[in-house]
Structure 1
Amino acid sequence: MTGLPAAVVFDLGNVLIDWDPAAAVAQGLGVAEARRFIEADDFDFMAWNHHQDAGRSLADGIAEVRRTHPHWASHAEAYLAHFPTSLAELPDTVAIVRELHDAGVPLYGLTNWSAELFPHARERFGVLRLLDDVVVSGAIRAAKPDPRAYAAVAEVSGLPLGRLVFVDDKRSNVDAADALGMDGVLFTGADDLRAALRERGLPVRPTA
């Protein structure tokens, strides 16, 4: 990227909004059962969840667990039933978004999230109203690191990928963004993000 970035694109989960799926399962079945489910050797929760992020319906997701891993069906159901419990705002990163917003920097979200579950976040977290738009993978049926997800945020922003800084906590998603010409920043914490954005000339306060 040459020159000042035209906009910043934020992943949401574990960047602006903490996501702890075990907390949702624990709300329904207890901490021990939540740990067993999330850490199970015979069931890949993250892979299963990714299908919903990529557009599979929640009903079809539960049906899949009932068919292939019936002993985990109640755990998957507990996760969905208590999903809001899994979410919490990350205030240090939200403060960065507020600073950029106040300075007039265009801001977007690009999140891997079930279209059916995302309304819980939209209703609850005011930081999302500071973003010009949010691309939800489940709604477009393409989840990062699928190139179509990044193309979607370029479309809604009206900006080429090469003018966008992209912040995500997963290396695979950042690498995919870089390969498409975005300026990827691996999120490891708010202080490091502040430093990275300041290096790019963006108007955020320095770390204390």
Structure 2
Amino acid sequence: MATPNRPAIDAVVLDLGNVLVGWDPYLPFAGSMSREEWQRFATEIDFPLLNAMTDRGVPIAEVVALAARKGPALGDALRGYYDNFERSLTGPVPGVAEIVDELRAAGLRLVGLTNWSAETFHHAEGAAPAIARLDAVVVSGRERLIKPDAAIFRRLAERYDLVPERTVFVDDSSPNTDAAAALGFVTVLFTSAPRLRRELQRLGILEA
């Protein structure tokens, strides 16, 4: 449904991690350390930074080597995370697969845009089969660009002929939705499937 001030929406772009598929990086360590110990480990190696590097396309082996410079045991632990990465995926985020199916039935184009290592992305569809029902997925590790860099949004739009003003972008990170909004995308900050449904109804692309 279009409004006098907004063109009709014809596409939806979905983040994957913690939108379509749950992700908890502690879980590969659950048998060997407590969550508190994991937090200390993650802080010591700067896990968010190293994880972002793999999302940007840096080979996992190089990132593990960086952690090992702070101590061989730290490198071994991080290697274990990637060797057991599938354990970090907790399955479909409740209620979102149903929304994907309703959007497909409504004729919307559906594209994924995810910050994810190219080396571990093969685990995604098994953990959340709805990912396979998207028309395409742009994986940051393959592109060597990550959100919220405006360049990855521009590449997405050019590759799939998306008009930002006619495209809803859904992500659980406010820096990512802010970056997309600055480029003209209609944005929804994801917190739960019920709230996403309400926002899509408000935008007129799902029936109330």
Taking structure 1 as the reference length, the TM-score comes to 0.90
Q: 1:161 to 1:39 in 2, by over 3 A?
A: farther
Q: Distance in 1 between matches of 2:180 and 2:71?
A: 34
Correspondence for 1:112: 115
The one-letter amino acid paired with 1:201 is G
Aligned length: 202
Q: 1:124 to 1:19 in 2, by over 3 A?
A: closer
User: Deviations along 1:93-139, whole A, 9 cap, x unmatched?
Assistant: 11111111122211000000001110111344321121111000000
The one-letter amino acid paired with 1:149 is I
Q: Distance in 2 between matches of 1:69 and 1:200?
A: 51
Is 2:37 the partner of 1:36? yes
User: Deviations along 1:127-183, whole A, 9 cap, x unmatched?
Assistant: 112111100000000000011111122123212222211000011111111111111
Q: 1:89 to 1:39 in 2, by over 3 A?
A: farther
Is 2:183 the partner of 1:186? no
Correspondence for 1:20: 24
Q: Any unmatched runs of 5+ in structure 1?
A: none
Q: Distance in 1 between matches of 2:121 and 2:71?
A: 26
Note the C-alpha offset of 1:39. 4.0
Identical aligned pairs, as a percentage? 40
Match of 1:66 among 37, 56, 68: 68
User: Deviations along 1:32-81, whole A, 9 cap, x unmatched?
Assistant: 2x542334443321121001001101111111111234342222111101
Q: Distance in 2 between matches of 1:5 and 1:46?
A: 34
Q: CA contact under 8 A between 2:92 and 2:127: conserved in structure 1?
A: no
- 1:140-159 superposed matches below 5 A: 140-159=143-162
Correspondence for 1:75: 77
Q: 1:145 to 1:196 in 2, by over 3 A?
A: same
Q: Distance in 2 between matches of 1:109 and 1:39?
A: 32
Is 2:51 the partner of 1:49? yes
Q: CA contact under 8 A between 1:135 and 1:152: conserved in structure 2?
A: no
Partner-residue secondary structure (3-state), 1:75: helix
Q: Any unmatched runs of 5+ in structure 2?
A: none
Partner-residue secondary structure (3-state), 2:95: helix
